[in-house]
Structure 1
Amino acid sequence: MTTLAVVDAGTVLSGDHRTPLIADADTVVSEDGTIVAVGRRGDLATLVDTAEVVIDANGSTVAPGLIDSHCHVVLGDYTPRQKTVDFLASYVHGGITSVVSPGEIHAQGRPHDATGVKALAIAAMSCFRNFHPGGMTVHAGSVVLEPTLTDEDFADLEKAGVRLAKFGFGLYEDPADGYDQVRSAQAHGITVMCHSGGASIPGSKPITPDHLLHLAPDVCGHVNGGPTSLSIEGVDKIIGETSMALQLVQAGNLRSAVRILRKCHEEGRFDRIVIGSDTPTGTGVMPLGVIKTVAELSSLSGIDPAQVWAAATGNNARTWDLAAGFIAPGAAADLVIMDAPWGSTAPDALGALAIGDIPGITAVVTQGVLRNLTSRNTPRAARLVDVTPPMPHLSAAGH
């Protein structure tokens, strides 16, 4: 049994936007990659005393690891679009402990025939089951919906374990023609994300609010634009007339994202907000893409940063039925420890987010294992953690 304890947290975020802070908690304990206890150190002394690894947060903030709900993986820790190696491991240094693929659309020579489409999805899913770059969990194998796919094909995908689909890059003359594939995918337990807004790559087509209302996917991908946003009237129809999740991304339109976030918060629809980066794309490789989005949305909307953090963790977990995203017994032990960056006018990580500063990440835990100390991508945290036993190999600073 592998046990890890995080103690002396000043603040613990739950990942649940309804109660974003865990009151009177300073300790989180995990066993074999799963959180088993959250509470006060004095009440959990036996578990802490027997833990193999103890991380002293020194009063900083402990949060669920970020989930990037729109990350363009293909195979391995490589992005053909940006010709970049090691990008997923670098994203872990940005607090991203898991990602969801919106379809392996950047694969060289991406197939459109049914056999090739299924093969690519199954291969990506299967490879990433056995590969965790930087300790990250990659939910890959998102089948790109094509007119060549039949209900029998979706039954094959369900049998193979494929649970993700993306609509918007198939060879449809009219996006409305994808209705049957969307329904069939959903009937076989597959969560469908749909492109929205203007075309993002050569060969794709704009998808309008009317298309989205007709197709009725589970997730409206980059509703704030990917990169071109929908009209305000169209977005409001999607918000008011559907129940689909509303994805806000870094690679979209920030003005639109802030308006959508505020509207959903005011109307009691915050549970539908999910956050992703929509990278790597033409916007580039962005290890800080999700945490930057949280900082921007928190500071510009005036909404509690702990709630916005939940939109990038627990809301994503609920939408895609993931094991991570929460700090609670039974959840996957994916954690980020962070503080205000050195030199910030804010006293802690939430204060930093509220004024638009990116917090300094001082430790990342995935699957109950300490992966990083002193992030190579964020600013240095004002308060660093102490680890027992010491693990200087995880930090260039040797802390």
Structure 2
Amino acid sequence: MKTAITNLGLIVSGDWREPFVAGDTIVMEGGAIVHVGGADADAMEGADVVIDAGGTTAMPGLIDSHVHITFGDYTPRQKTVGYLESYVHGGVTTAITASEVHVPGRPKDPAGVKALAVAALKSFQDYRPGGMRVHAGAVILEPGLTGADLAEIAAQGVWMAKAGFGAFPTPYDYAPLIAEARALGMVTLVHTGGSSIPGSSGIWADHLLAMRPDVSFHVNGGPIAMPDGDFPRLVNESDVALQICTAGNLRTALLVAKLATAAGAFDRVLIATDTPTGSGIMPLGMLYTITHLASLGGIPVERAIAAATGNNARVYRLNSGVIAPGRDADVVLIDACAGGSKNDALAGLANGDIAAVGALVTDGVPRFVGRSRNTPQTIRPVRVAECRIPQDFSGAGH
């Protein structure tokens, strides 16, 4: 399928060092971006769908790098069906598992945790709720697992390992398995902050510096933050990615962003939601944290968007998250909300307002055009200008 978006007012790249792309047109074909720039007639020729952006802003699809996936589009924690598809209407085009820890009666023996990770991974390989890409199957590290066990499931495609919910006597005991997983090329993830489920323990800077994972999950607290004195240590004494979550401590989220910026380490700042949890389901959580960093933390909006897109893609080794030729064709059109006090998406976000989502494309396929059911209306109308296939891309209204 070939899809073109034209008449854009602004293109936010997802790369905070070069945050904007010149041009008013994005063309996608075969699931990839093939053209970014002016409205080139040759590039747009033969497009199956042409979207008139109406002067709105394009950004990469948001990557929520901390979602509590189970099986299917269902969360037993909140007993809700269809939450992932609802996140699509919040601009999220990719969800990454925080491990399948919320599966009822989850197994905790080596054979069980391996089976759970493999089953989750494989169940989402061809299942895309609402068009979203879901990366599932992070193995939960438990006593008894060995390097050979990790190698076995890595050979089956499992590429993430999660520490923090296992039955180890202390968090330091995760360190050997974290090292084994990293040696196998897995992305390693560690719960950070106070205990979030019965039987787990708090994990602070001393533990993280001993483990050296790839990502400090909800570094601002999930939902309870570690002591303030630990944050400068983690920023300055490690290269661990610092994941800020909506369902965590807002004050320490702003502290992390400030410290990372001062240390020249903004590449390591990631935005995620840590949902569904006791904090609920948050389809607009990614957008809210972008507004928090921009309106309360003084972070430029385009940089905050990069923390929710390109930074996540780099740490998790994904081909999405950046608007450039060759990258995955996941694009969201946003604008200031109708009835608000600002006139464009970035000004609205900097003001602390949620963005209006006017269209969303994943894998080069429009999932809705004109209106997200979870946000207010855009100021500028977004519409399908041409369509050569028998399909209606209008979004469901309220």
TM-score tier, shorter chain, comes to over 0.9
Please name the residue that 1:55 is paired with: 51
Matched residues, number: 394
Indicate yes or no: 2:386 matched with 1:394. no
| In structure 2, C-alpha distance between the alignment counterparts of 1:110 and 1:307, rounded to whole Å | 38
Determine which of 180, 190, 193 is the counterpart of 2:176: 180
- Judge conservation of contact 1:112–1:148 (CA < 8 Å) in 2: no
| In structure 1, C-alpha distance between the alignment counterparts of 2:56 and 2:217, rounded to whole Å | 33
The residue identity in structure 1 corresponding to 2:29 is E
| In structure 1, C-alpha distance between the alignment counterparts of 2:259 and 2:339, rounded to whole Å | 33
| In structure 1, C-alpha distance between the alignment counterparts of 2:396 and 2:211, rounded to whole Å | 50
Deviations, residues 78-104 of structure 1 (Å, cap 9, x unaligned): 001111100000000000000111110
> Any residues of structure 2 matched to 1:90-129 within 5 Å, and which?
90-129=86-125
| In structure 2, C-alpha distance between the alignment counterparts of 1:27 and 1:347, rounded to whole Å | 21
Please name the residue that 1:306 is paired with: 302
Please name the residue that 1:14 is paired with: 13
| In structure 1, C-alpha distance between the alignment counterparts of 2:386 and 2:127, rounded to whole Å | 27
Identity %: 48
After alignment, is 254-263 or 7-16 more displaced? 254-263
Please name the residue that 2:24 is paired with: 26
| In structure 2, C-alpha distance between the alignment counterparts of 1:394 and 1:120, rounded to whole Å | 37
Shift of 1:325: 0.4
Shift of 1:393: 5.4
- Judge conservation of contact 1:72–1:101 (CA < 8 Å) in 2: yes
The residue identity in structure 2 corresponding to 1:383 is R
The residue identity in structure 2 corresponding to 1:394 is S
Deviations, residues 104-157 of structure 1 (Å, cap 9, x unaligned): 000011111111101000000001001000000001001111111101101101
| In structure 1, C-alpha distance between the alignment counterparts of 2:128 and 2:392, rounded to whole Å | 22
Please name the residue that 1:36 is paired with: 34
The residue identity in structure 2 corresponding to 1:384 is P
The residue identity in structure 2 corresponding to 1:79 is T
The residue identity in structure 1 corresponding to 2:394 is L
- Judge conservation of contact 2:367–2:393 (CA < 8 Å) in 1: no
Q: Secondary structure at the match of 1:361?
A: strand
Please name the residue that 2:341 is paired with: 345
Shift of 1:158: 1.2
Structure 1 runs of 4+ aligned residues shifted over 3 Å read: 388-393
Please name the residue that 1:316 is paired with: 312
Q: Secondary structure at the match of 2:224?
A: coil
- With over 3 angstroms needed to count, the CA separation of the structure-2 counterparts of 1:393 and 1:47, relative to structure 1, is closer
- Judge conservation of contact 2:139–2:162 (CA < 8 Å) in 1: yes
Q: Secondary structure at the match of 2:67?
A: coil
Please name the residue that 1:330 is paired with: 326
The residue identity in structure 1 corresponding to 2:32 is T
Shift of 1:305: 0.3
| In structure 1, C-alpha distance between the alignment counterparts of 2:219 and 2:255, rounded to whole Å | 11
- Judge conservation of contact 1:220–1:246 (CA < 8 Å) in 2: yes
| In structure 1, C-alpha distance between the alignment counterparts of 2:177 and 2:147, rounded to whole Å | 8
> Any residues of structure 2 matched to 1:113-152 within 5 Å, and which?
113-152=109-148
| In structure 2, C-alpha distance between the alignment counterparts of 1:95 and 1:397, rounded to whole Å | 16
Q: Secondary structure at the match of 2:176?
A: helix
- With over 3 angstroms needed to count, the CA separation of the structure-2 counterparts of 1:58 and 1:182, relative to structure 1, is same
TM-score w.r.t. length of structure 2? 0.97
Q: Secondary structure at the match of 1:315?
A: helix
| In structure 2, C-alpha distance between the alignment counterparts of 1:397 and 1:242, rounded to whole Å | 46
Please report the RMSD computed on the Cα atoms of aligned residues, expressed in angstroms. 1.2
5+ long unaligned stretches in structure 1: none
TM-score w.r.t. length of structure 1? 0.97
The residue identity in structure 1 corresponding to 2:298 is G
